[in-house]
Structure 1
Amino acid sequence: MPEPAAARLIAIHPAAPPKPAWGQSCNGCGVCCLQEPCPVGALLSLRRHGACDALRWSDAAGRYHCGLLSQPADVLPRALRPLSGWLSRRAHRWIAAGIGCDCDSVVEVEVEDQD
């Protein structure tokens, strides 16, 4: 029997929607990208662990978005910014946008004491 994954603490925006069940539509909870970047995010963040640098919170939408989709010029290195439109269109497929939640993490909410 495989060992359960070690518990990790990630900071999630308090207004973020709850994580959907595996396979359900993405709702922008951000859990997957806050844990570790996808392969495209790893290239942008220059790391394989920790929160993806391309992840963006939207107050207006009340959810997280991939910056490569919503704000490509803000997350791409200067040399790639002229290709931001082309890269953003392809990123939908690269990150499997719209396919459904593929994060099987279990989320436990901890509320900080207000004392």
Structure 2
Amino acid sequence: MTISDKQHACPSVLAVVAWHPQAPTKPALGAPCNGCGLCCLTAPCPLGMWVSRRRTGACKALLWSDSQQRYLCGLLANPEQITGWHHPWLLRWCSQRAQRWIAAGTGCDANLEWEKLPPTD
């Protein structure tokens, strides 16, 4: 799949990401998040940068859920698995920060154009 970021000066810049074949289609800008994962496959949020130790590319905290057939933020859904932390107060803190930093509940803010590439043999 190729993605171009319409927020930057050069919209012709493309990124190729490995997208789960069962992932839902990206919602329209501002529509409720459906777990398509394209935003996190393209670049991590501030908390994801800390966990992934990178500013570009897929966030290491992004998890695929077979049961829900969607991507989830591991820092929100399962911070213990992502961070290795075990203290309940620290896990709650992490989930709260993740919810705020990924703007959970505010709608899709990934201003991206995407297209699926044909399968390779």
TM-score greater than 0.5 by the shorter chain = yes
Tell whether 2:119 aligns with 1:106: no
Question: CA 1:51/1:113 → structure 2, altered by over 3 Å: closer, same or farther?
Answer: closer
Q: Distance in 1 between matches of 2:111 and 2:70?
A: 19
| Structure 2: stretches of 5+ with no match in the other structure | 1-8
Note the alpha carbon deviations across 1:3-52, whole angstroms, 9 max, x for none.
32401111100000000011000000000000010111001111001100
Gaps of 5+ in 1: none
> Where does 1:68-87 land on structure 2 (aligned, <5 Å)?
68-76=75-83, 78=84, 80-82=85-87, 83-87=90-94
Q: How many angstroms does 1:91 deviate by?
A: 2.0
Identify the structure with bigger relative contact order (alpha carbons < 8 Å, sequence gap 6+): 2
TM-score (norm 1): 0.89
2:30 match: 23
* SS in structure 1 at match of 2:72: strand
Name the aligned partner's letter for residue 22 of structure 1: L
Secondary structure class of the residue paired with 1:57: strand
Instruction: For 1:101, give the aligned amino acid.
Output: C
Q: SS of the residue aligned with 1:84?
A: helix
Report the structure, 1 or 2, having the larger strand content.
Answer: 2
Aligned length: 111
Which residue of the other structure, out of 62, 66, 71, is the alignment partner of 1:64?
Answer: 71
